[in-house]
Chains A and B, each alone.
Chain A
Amino acid sequence: MSMKNFIKSNLPAIAVVLLAVVFMAVGAWRGEIAVVLKKAVNICLECIGIG
């Protein structure tokens, strides 16, 4: 499959990947990674049925 055909047959997926990268960058810029990390490095009491 040539690059042109690959792009043509995967156009929606390429668009979503590009949008995903923008979303991740915006989220990182807003400080969301810190929220994820803070939640993930402490035992999630709700997840294990305590909190």
Chain B
Amino acid sequence: MLKKLKENGRTVFQLLYTAVTNGYIYGFFGGKIFKGKTKGFCVPGLNCYSCPGALGSCPLGSFQAVLSDRKFKFAFYVAGILMFFGAVFGRFVCGWLCPFGLVQDLLYKIPFPKKLRKLPGDKWLKYLKYVIFAVFVVLLPLTVLDIIGQGSPWFCKYICPSGTLFGALPLFAADEGIRGAAGGLFGWKTAVLVFLVLLSVVVYRPFCRYLCPLGAVYSVFNPIAFYRYKVDADKCTKCGKCQKACKMDIKVYEKPNDPECIRCGDCVKACPYGAICPSVKLKKKKSEEKQK
């Protein structure tokens, strides 16, 4: 039992984290969302604030909310939060603290005859998330305004699958009034969600790799964050076992702080020489202890 828990430590952590940050159970039954003051603060991962259980705010939704407000042209508060989480954790957030990342992780566990290491065109597709951030999260909310000068959260409205899964579906299930208001936009968002759900069974974390603007933001901080990986050149033989274990297909021995690395730790576990280690280490690896 303990061994199994240890093997699936990250999944257990992700489940607990998601349960705690979405702990307003009453919301799921009553079709209501939490209205407490903690919602003035953003959680690090993609967690829709319209999820009935959400106790905090989604950083991307909040960023767009401030940008699309006619009083502001820049979102200092949320930008500061993103920079803080980025500088401390980098994409550790994606690997450990994102509910939609957890969903994709679980979907990838479903057996499928031919899993893909990456999508064709991955080399270029991985830059799509930066374009989505620039266009849907910044430019459109800031520039496309209604008659009173108010913008829209374009990413939330047209792309975000987290809002559909954690916000729309539970609310629709609990509230007939909300369900009755669903139209073409909901159909589109459901199609996006279904497409990503199916793709997640075949490819590891397609949304994080190609579409997530939050991942794009945190990826910039990966090389400088407090939590990063180091490769001991004296121990590393470039055997490639780390890359083989990496579901994001990163050459860890060459680029341990690649922008795509979500810090899942599979490479650390896979290295037979204990050459890869996080900058923040909780305990010594067995291989290191043996050497001593």
B-binding residues in A (CB < 8 A): 9-10, 12-14, 16-17, 19-28, 30-37, 39-44, 46-51
Query: Are the CB atoms of A43 and B76 closer together than 8 Å?
Result: no
The residue from B39, B83, B167, B172 contacting A47, defined by CB atoms under 8 A apart = B167
- Beyond A36-B66, A40-B40, whether A20 also contacts B84 by CB under 8 A is yes
B114 within 8 A of A: no
Cβ–Cβ < 8 Å partners of A40 in chain B: 39-40, 49, 54, 57-58, 61-62, 65
Query: Contacting chain A: which of B119-127, B185-193, B208-216?
Result: B185-193
**Chain A: CB-nearest residue to B152:** A46
- Beyond A47-B48, A49-B164, whether A20 also contacts B171 by CB under 8 A is no
B87 within 8 A of A: yes
Cβ–Cβ < 8 Å partners of A26 in chain B: 76-77, 80
- Beyond A16-B87, A41-B35, whether A49 also contacts B78 by CB under 8 A is no
Cβ–Cβ < 8 Å partners of B83 in chain A: 16-17, 19-20, 23
- Beyond A10-B226, A44-B163, A46-B152, whether A36 also contacts B42 by CB under 8 A is yes
Query: Contacting chain A: which of B9-17, B105-113, B175-183?
Result: B175-183
**Chain B: CB-nearest residue to A23:** B80
B26 within 8 A of A: no
Q: Which 3 A-B pairs have the closest CB atoms?
A: A27-B77, A23-B80, A24-B80
Query: Are the CB atoms of B57 and A49 closer together than 8 Å?
Result: no
Query: Are the CB atoms of B75 and A50 closer together than 8 Å?
Result: no
Q: How far is the CA of A22 from the CA of B83 in the complex (A)?
A: 11
Cβ–Cβ < 8 Å partners of B207 in chain A: none
Total chain B interface residues with beta-carbon distance under 8 A: 60
- Beyond A13-B88, A16-B224, A24-B84, whether A37 also contacts B40 by CB under 8 A is yes
- Beyond A30-B72, A35-B69, A47-B160, whether A20 also contacts B49 by CB under 8 A is no
Query: Are the CB atoms of A37 and B39 closer together than 8 Å?
Result: yes
- Beyond A20-B80, A36-B77, whether A51 also contacts B157 by CB under 8 A is yes
B153 within 8 A of A: yes
Most buried by B among A23, A26, A27, A48: A48
B275 within 8 A of A: no
Most buried by A among B54, B157, B221: B157
Query: Are the CB atoms of B185 and A49 closer together than 8 Å?
Result: yes
Cβ–Cβ < 8 Å partners of A34 in chain B: 40
Most buried by A among B76, B152, B171: B76
B156 within 8 A of A: yes
Query: Are the CB atoms of B48 and A44 closer together than 8 Å?
Result: yes
Cβ–Cβ < 8 Å partners of B4 in chain A: none
Query: Which of chain B's residues 57-92 have a Cβ closer than 8 Å to chain A?
Result: 57-58, 61-62, 65-66, 69, 71-72, 75-84, 86-88
Q: How far is the CA of A9 from the CA of B65 in the complex (A)?
A: 36
B225 within 8 A of A: yes
Query: Are the CB atoms of A21 and B163 closer together than 8 Å?
Result: no
Q: How far is the CA of A43 from the CA of B153 in the complex (A)?
A: 13
